[in-house]
Amino acid sequence: MDEFSFIESIKQHTYNQSSLIKGIGDDAAVFSSLSQNIVSAVDTFVEGVHFSKETMSLFHVGYRALAANISDLAAMGATPAFYLVSIVIPKGWSQEELLQIFNGMRHLARAYKMDLIGGDTVSGKEMCISVTVIGFTMKDKARYRSTAESGDIVFVTGTLGDSGAGLHILTHSNNYKEASYYINRHRMPSPRISFAIGLGHLARVTLNDISDGIASEANEIAEASNVTLLLNESEIPTNSSYNQFPVELQEKWKLFGGEDFELLGTIPPKDWDKVQQIGELTNTNVTKIGEVVEAGKNGKVILKQKHKSILLEKKGYTHLK
């Protein structure tokens, strides 16, 4: 594969972002920030660890890698602007295969008017894709995990567990209801950008995106904010046909499955109406699932189930005495 001609083939001929001064084609990209704040994150995906060609086309591999990164920008309340892609390609891969990955990213990038402004293509033994995203927020409007306060409402967007269910369907053939819905949620997650940006005028919103499972991200908020989150399991939203799966898998995907790329947040009760309105305006289901009940030195998450409460930890739970 000729690296020069490949870069030429993925290079955008026109750019969307007015802040971009120089895109691909020099030692680095250059942009201005229009006196906003700049947000940047990176995420890496390795074949066989984070995805498999058996359950994903290369188009979906690219789509999902960028979606996961855009979801980090959503969790910061940032508007996506740019991405840089670094790919390790095993020998024997064709330029056509590589293009499919970039097509998947481009498809999603177009929806957000994001520009590809840099990258690197190197050869190696295993396929590995690393995406850096850059976005903007208004001054002092980035949303952190550390701002939750006692009395806040805890909410989540969309439905949880869908991505885990989708992967299960792809790897366990059977007759499932809404199979394509779940598969789509696994392969082409929807970062909640418009909803997160819609929250922009609110004074204080705590946000985190669900990439490792709500148990993990709720604990991140509890720890960063030094508060206790009290969640009601019965209120955690799932899709209408989600109960077709074995109960223990439902729980596993919903709490620990992750990769739904929904947003978990907390908000003062006075602003809850506004959050719901923004949800409606941006076609985003928003569900209250609990509250922030106390401040403490060690953040923790308690999940109220039907007949008991459990201490929800990042990778599992222990029963409360």
Residues annotated in a binding site for ATP? 119-120, 145, 211
Q: Could you tell me which residues come within 8 angstroms of residue 202 by beta carbon, excluding any fewer than 6 positions away?
A: 267, 271, 274, 275
Candidates 143-151, 246-254, 273-281, 296-304 — which segment interacts with a copy of itself by CB under 8 A?
143-151
Name which of 22 and 252 has its Cβ closer to a copy of itself.
22
CB of 144 to a copy of itself, least distance (A): 5
Instruction: Encode 98-130: b = buried (16+ Cβ within 10 Å), e = exposed.
Output: bbbbbebbbebbeebebbbbbbeeeeeeebbbb
Site map for a copy of itself, 256-275, x if CB under 8 A? --------------------
Given 9, 11, 18, 30, the residue binding a copy of itself (CB under 8 A): 30
Residue 228's DSSP bridge partners are 294, 300
CB of 123 to a copy of itself, least distance (A): 6
Binding residue positions for substrate: 50, 259, 317
Residue 25's closest CA among 122, 114, 118, 121? 118
Residue 114's closest CA among 157, 78, 75, 141? 78
**For residues 296 and 225, what is the distance between their CA atoms, to the nearest angstrom?**
9
Q: How many CA atoms lie within 13 A of 266 on its CB side?
A: 28
Given 11, 18, 48, 277, the residue binding a copy of itself (CB under 8 A): 48
CB of 261 to a copy of itself, least distance (A): 11
**For residues 246 and 223, what is the distance between their CA atoms, to the nearest angstrom?**
32
CB of 56 to a copy of itself, least distance (A): 17
**For residues 60 and 64, what is the distance between their CA atoms, to the nearest angstrom?**
6
- Compute how many residues bind a copy of itself; rule: CB under 8 A: 62
Name which of 114 and 142 has its Cβ closer to a copy of itself.
142
The strand order across the sheet containing 153-157 reads: 206-209, 263-267, 153-157, 286-295, 227-232, 300-304, 309-313, 316-319
Given 145, 186, 187, 254, the residue binding a copy of itself (CB under 8 A): 145
Is 8 a residue that touches a copy of itself (CB under 8 A)? no
Is 13 a residue that touches a copy of itself (CB under 8 A)? no
Name which of 105 and 207 has its Cβ closer to a copy of itself.
207
User: Which SS3 state, helix, strand or coil, does residue 162 take?
Assistant: helix
- Within 191-230, the residues that bind a copy of itself by CB under 8 A are 207-209, 224
Name which of 163 and 211 has its Cβ closer to a copy of itself.
211
Is 249 a residue that touches a copy of itself (CB under 8 A)? no
Is 117 a residue that touches a copy of itself (CB under 8 A)? yes
Is 27 a residue that touches a copy of itself (CB under 8 A)? yes
Given 44, 194, 232, 287, the residue binding a copy of itself (CB under 8 A): 44
Strand pairing report for 79-90 and 115-124: parallel
Is 5 a residue that touches a copy of itself (CB under 8 A)? no
Given 5, 92, 139, 273, the residue binding a copy of itself (CB under 8 A): 139
According to DSSP, residue 270 is labeled G
**For residues 112 and 191, what is the distance between their CA atoms, to the nearest angstrom?**
10
Token pair, residue 71, equals: 């979801």
The residue ranges that bind a copy of itself (CB under 8 A) are 21-22, 25-33, 35-46, 48-50, 72-73, 75-76, 78, 82, 84-88, 117-120, 122-126, 128, 130, 132-135, 137, 139, 142, 144-146, 207-209, 224
